[in-house]
Structure 1
Amino acid sequence: MSAADAIAAMIAGRRLERVAVNHEHAASVIAMAERHLDTAVTLAGTDDHAMAFTAAYDGARKALTAVLAIEGLRVRPVGGAHRNTGIAAAQFVPDDALREFEWMRQVRNATEYPDNDRPTATRQDVSEGIDAARAIVDACATYVRDRI
């Protein structure tokens, strides 16, 4: 399936909706994503693994959201919205780094909604999550800034 077909299917399935292209919003969301990464790095040296990982994850998620904003798209607030954000943004940004978002999403979910069957974020997850988020944010920032 082509990227255009995948996006059309997500719109038809009501997982995405068209909105006005918003360059200013996309740029501000990229800046926020970069700040979240800085926060994750600061928190990485603490024992608050959950917050450090969540900051890295939110940086990556917001960068993906900025890609959609620059394309005039928004994920609808239905179940799996974060997953849909990753899938949709990957249709526009041909960078393998975006594949890392799915494992980050799973660790974030296990951390936010812990149970005995899923471990919460560890110090290693924080380190790997910051690296993955940085690659995602960098790829998305390049994509967005090339279109402003």
Structure 2
Amino acid sequence: MTLNSIGLDTKKAQTIANDLNDLLANFQLYYQNLRGIHWNIKGKQFFDLHVKFEELYTDANVKVDEIAERILTLGETPLHTFDDYSKAAKIPVGKDISQDDKAVKLIVDSLTELLKLERQILDVSSDANDEGTSAMMSELITEQEKTVWMMKAWLGETV
């Protein structure tokens, strides 16, 4: 086994970085979806949702940077083109969504997919003794679970 400069098995670190690149691609699409619904939201909930969506996309932008920097820390290169993102992303694309229920549902559906990826990365990083990635995934999961709960509550649904 060969260890990298941060003490992780290089092959395991590469696998984790590949998984993080998938997460990065999906996060970038999530970010772009949030920008779109922020710009296009209409209706009586406009003022509340417009502000909330801006809060979410600002946070997502920070998370994108953190994920990319973790990939670099593991010794790999983060994806950085829209072509790469669209090929790797699994979350739904939100095009021309201006209705409040559809916008919030898009957020829930997107976070549900991100959570699946993050739990998978958490398992792999835990097995590799990669505390940095594990801690990052735990933080993302905790925050996103709360956001899903809040968005589902707004929709009048339960988790």
TM-score scaled by length of structure 2: 0.34
Query: Rg bigger for which structure?
Result: 2
TM-score scaled by length of structure 1: 0.36
Greater fraction helix: 2
Which structure exhibits the higher relative contact order, with contacts defined as CA atoms closer than 8 Å and separated by 6 or more residues? 1
